[in-house]
Structure 1
Amino acid sequence: MSRPLASVLFAAALLATGSASADPPRSRQLVRPKQAVIISFDSARDISQWKRSRALAARTGAHFTYFLSCVFLLTKETRGAYSGPHKAAGKSNIGFAASKDEVTERLEQIRLAASEGHEIGSHACGHFDGKDWTKADWLAEFASFRHVLQNAYAINGIEGEPADWRAFADKAVTGFRAPYLSTSAALYQALPRAGFAYDASGVSSSPVAPRTLGGVTRFTLPQIPEGPKGRQVIAMDYNLYVRHSGGFERPSQAADFEERTYQSFKAAFDRQYAGGRIPLELGFHFTLMNGGAYWNALERFAGEVCVKADVECISFHDYVARMKTAGTPNAGG
């Protein structure tokens, strides 16, 4: 066999066995996962902020998680329906709803949000620090939350309870975030017993993929670089408020605080979007701190990234469901 013919046959054999160094077919090229952004709101009190957040979602296609505090489904007259662990009946660190009409409006916002694909999670009830609570204490607090949510119409004497309300209240709440992000071994023992699928109370030094332990998927709010010196701060509006103004209102500097917050969110997003695509979690409250700087930054950020084709601004519940469907309970993205 001549050398030229042998070379041709050898090259053909390499191609036939797939050993040749050639670009893979386009269908075999790795498709990157969408970048997930998980935006949540703690306590979920103010009616105008319910409406504002839902309007933001409608503009951007986002789905949010609302971690509800059950005391906002009770009034001064009905607050005795709740007793926190080791607390007298009707005690709360964050107050109660101002009126029956306010509770009625909040229930309507909850129903509308759920119908639009948003998630209702639990932020417990009285916003107490449960770091020293026992497993039994946590189970009692979780039971109080479910009782108040299920019976909110009846407790407050509100007519027109939807036929499916109690079934919704019993089944829809699958996630939890602890007040003050205060966790303990007892909490993690109680969560699966109470039927929770995930917990979003953790804090990490940077965005990390959620992991599942003991049947409960654990998410963490990341610390992200912020400000001229790039110092780490938890990606939550209250922590930014303390960073920027020591927890005191400085509305005259709202524009500066907004810009710093937006740039911090965007830089954290860009790192994941261009890198490992670990989900980015951002936390908020319904309080407009420092002249609304943090909500303004949120609206700018969501308006820019949630509309991207390869980004999904998604609830915790839907992200957990996506993980289970993909069969990757200990992986993110």
Structure 2
Amino acid sequence: MSFSSRVAAFCLASLATAGAAFADPPGSRAPLPARPKQVVIISFDSARDISQWKRSRALAQRTGAHFTYFLSCVFLLSPETRNQYTAPGKTSGKSNIGFAASKQEVADRLEQIGLAAHEGHDIASHACGHFDGKDWSKADWLKEFGAFEHILENAYAINGIAPEPDGWRDFARHAVVGFRAPYLSTGKALYEALPAAGYRFDASGVSRGPVQPPTAGGITRFSLPQIPEGPKSRPVIAMDYNLYVRHSGGFERPSGAAEFADRTYQAFRAAFDAQYQGKRVPLELGFHFTLMNDGAYWNALERFAGEVCVKSDVECISFRDYISRQGAGQKQVSVGG
């Protein structure tokens, strides 16, 4: 029955019983149902360069965002302490991505980690030596996770850096609850090892588009979505490295930086708008601290975050924030729609 028909029926019934009828008062319609806030989850892999730590934290302060930093623990070891790490199947002191350049660089990075954590950002694990673990056993993964935890917890002592901040070891033991596999390379053994090592989420997946993260075996599994990009709207994983390969074949082409930045921004914004105007599934975007194509992808990120993270009905939050909210049984914050 239409709204006007219901009003007419009500009036006739009232006349029959009370001899009078009253029109609906203004504004008596039920309010539209609240819509969930649009969630955007921005993360960084390896988290090496000090300048990029500072730049990302400044972006967060400008926009109110919280990020996830996937740390590679070899960057907490100097050339003198590199032998503290032994990867599965390797001799000590081996890494696919090198180590910190000096003790001072380790100290500077530890300071940035502490500041980011204090500001509410999520420090997560990207393992240590950035090896492809697709063929590792559960025991291999547990060894790698153990190395990460040991090096993070003891980083000050290992490198002879003083003073160690109060609460550092407690932070190292309990704050890291998330993981992203190097090369996004996963397998059955990884998902057996993650809960055994105390992790709560994994962000190593890839999906055809934004999806709600499922939880299986105690691990919430996030996926970087493939999003349309470029003149032909071909799908690409929403991560700076994949865009770098798409745009310039994985080689530096700074002459195209402005074009690449705009293409990236347009792809991010279109993917965001599709969810913001639609079902509001969380949108995940991944980055590295490397300034590929003369910083094109960071420039796009700053433009994008500066526009969307400041919206009242958008939350740019970390993976840890997201699972903490779900684990607490809290409903996603909603706004009137």
Pair in the same fold by TM > 0.5: yes
Return 5+ residue gaps in structure 1 as ranges. Answer: 14-21
User: 1:210 is matched with which residue?
Assistant: 213
Look up the equivalent residue of 1:117 and give its one-letter code.
Answer: G
DSSP 3-state at the match of 1:40 = strand
1:274-309 Cα shifts (integer Å, max 9, x gaps) = 001000000000000001000000000000000000
User: 1:139 is matched with which residue?
Assistant: 142
Look up the equivalent residue of 1:261 and give its one-letter code.
Answer: T
DSSP 3-state at the match of 2:134 = coil
1:19-39 Cα shifts (integer Å, max 9, x gaps) = xxx97522xx31101000000
Percent of aligned positions that are identical: 72
DSSP 3-state at the match of 1:38 = strand
Task: Choose from 129, 134, 137 the match for 2:132.
Answer: 129
Alignment root-mean-square deviation, CA: 1.9
User: 1:25 is matched with which residue?
Assistant: 30
User: 1:196 is matched with which residue?
Assistant: 199
Q: Does 1:226 align with 2:226?
A: no
Task: Choose from 92, 95, 99 the match for 1:96.
Answer: 99
Q: Does 1:168 align with 2:171?
A: yes
Return 5+ residue gaps in structure 2 as ranges. Answer: 1-8, 19-26, 333-337
Equivalent pairs counted in the alignment come to: 316
Q: 1:11 to 1:194 in 2, by over 3 A?
A: farther
Q: 1:304 to 1:83 in 2, by over 3 A?
A: same
CA–CA separation in structure 2 for the residues paired with 1:197 and 1:327: 17
DSSP 3-state at the match of 1:98 = coil
CA–CA separation in structure 1 for the residues paired with 2:203 and 2:15: 58
Task: Choose from 158, 161, 166 the match for 2:161.
Answer: 158
CA–CA separation in structure 2 for the residues paired with 1:48 and 1:30: 44
CA shift for structure 1 position 124: 0.1
CA shift for structure 1 position 323: 1.4
Q: TM-score, normalised by structure 1?
A: 0.92
Task: Choose from 310, 314, 318 the match for 1:311.
Answer: 314
CA shift for structure 1 position 7: 3.4
1:144-203 Cα shifts (integer Å, max 9, x gaps) = 000000000000010100120000000000000000000001000000000001000000
DSSP 3-state at the match of 1:144 = helix
Task: Choose from 305, 320, 324 the match for 2:323.
Answer: 320
CA shift for structure 1 position 325: 2.7
Q: Does 1:240 align with 2:262?
A: no
User: 1:149 is matched with which residue?
Assistant: 152
Look up the equivalent residue of 1:83 and give its one-letter code.
Answer: T
Q: Does 1:252 align with 2:260?
A: no
After the TM superposition, which segments of 4 or more aligned residues of structure 1 sit over 3 Å from their partners?
4-7, 9-13, 326-329
Q: Does 1:80 align with 2:83?
A: yes
User: 1:16 is matched with which residue?
Assistant: none
CA–CA separation in structure 1 for the residues paired with 2:134 and 2:10: 78
Q: Does 1:8 align with 2:16?
A: no
User: 1:282 is matched with which residue?
Assistant: 285
CA–CA separation in structure 2 for the residues paired with 1:299 and 1:6: 58
CA shift for structure 1 position 68: 0.1
Q: TM-score, normalised by structure 2?
A: 0.91
User: 2:23 is matched with which residue?
Assistant: none
